[in-house]
Amino acid sequence: MNGTITSITCQKRDKARASIFLEGGFAFGLEQQTVEEFRLRKGDYIDDEQYGKLIDFDYRISAKRIAQRYLNHRARSEREVRLRLEREEIPSEIIDSVIENLKFYSLINDEAWARAYVNDRLLRKQVSTSEIARELKQHRIASEIIETTLQSLSNEESDLDRARKAAEKCWPRYSKLPDEERKHKFFAYLLRRGFSVDIINAVFSDVYS
């Protein structure tokens, strides 16, 4: 990529980016911050070496801007941010660098994210510790963070406690069903939430007595 800059214009769809024209034709887009950092002006000559430096710097600025905007809506896990940047085809080494920077400033914190995820999950539905562990693994949360999060959860409330809360909601729903069908639906309801058969039997004894 080489040629003389004949025009630099602000992009209509994204004011934070500029279109660079070489020899009268559109050549590539850059972040406005990149344009200012390299002091690009009409009449400057861009050679292959300069172009490489521009694109490398621009990827880093773009990745930071995309990640920060993504994080503005709500807290995100490292995996979520990584996938968002991968969709923009940011080189992996730049993604790694940007994520480490965000982690340094605590803008990405998987420990805090895992705690918030568990709290929100349990507000919506009572599920077992094993179900929460499975979901956190799906989000690619590190094993040691999952272990710490679940230990804290167990100190606050046991699977038996959560199963009892779930039972309080579902048991009355099946009150008009024959006993055997009511029991079947009750067991299926709690099994879907990841509770063990032993826990379900214990809770069933409570509600059926």
- Taking all residues of the chain, what is their mean pLDDT, rounded to a whole number? 92
Task: Give the residue-averaged pLDDT of 189-201.
Answer: 94
At residue 155, the pLDDT reads: 84
What's the confidence (pLDDT) of residue 174? Answer: 87
8, two tokens: 């630099």
Give me the half-sphere count of Cα atoms (radius 13 Å) on the Cβ side of residue 171.
14
**pLDDT surpassing 80 at residue 62:** yes
Per-residue buried b or exposed e for 107-126, using 16+ beta carbons within 10 Å of the residue's own CB:
ebbbeebbbebbeeebeeeb
What is the pLDDT at residue 103? Answer: 94
- pLDDT tens digits along 72-125: 989 999 999 999 999 999 999 999 999 999 999 999 999 999 999 999 999 889
179 compared with 131, residue with greater pLDDT: 131
Cα separation, 117 vs 111, whole angstroms: 10
Residue 202: partners with Cβ closer than 8 Å, 6 or more residues away: 160, 163
In 3-state terms, what secondary structure has residue 21?
Answer: strand
| Rounded distance between C-alpha atoms, residue 23 and residue 31, angstroms | 20
The number of residues in the chain equals 209
The pLDDT > 70 percentage for the chain reads: 100
Q: Is the CB of residue 141 less than 8 Å from the CB of residue 77?
A: yes
Instruction: State pTM to two decimals.
Output: 0.76
Q: How many CA atoms lie within 13 A of 208 on its CB side?
A: 13
172: exposed, middle or buried (C-beta count within 10 Å: 0-12, 13-18, 19+)? exposed
DSSP output for 145-157 = HHHHHHHHHHHH-
Across residues 149-169, what is the average pLDDT? Answer: 90
Q: Which whole-number Å values give the CA distances from 171 to 124, 160, 193, in the listed order?
A: 18, 15, 15
Confidence of residue 209 (pLDDT cuts 50, 70, 90): low
Tell me which H or E stretch contains 49.
helix 48-73
Amino acid code (one letter) for 127: V
Listed range (53-57, 110-114, 168-172) with the worst mean pLDDT: 168-172
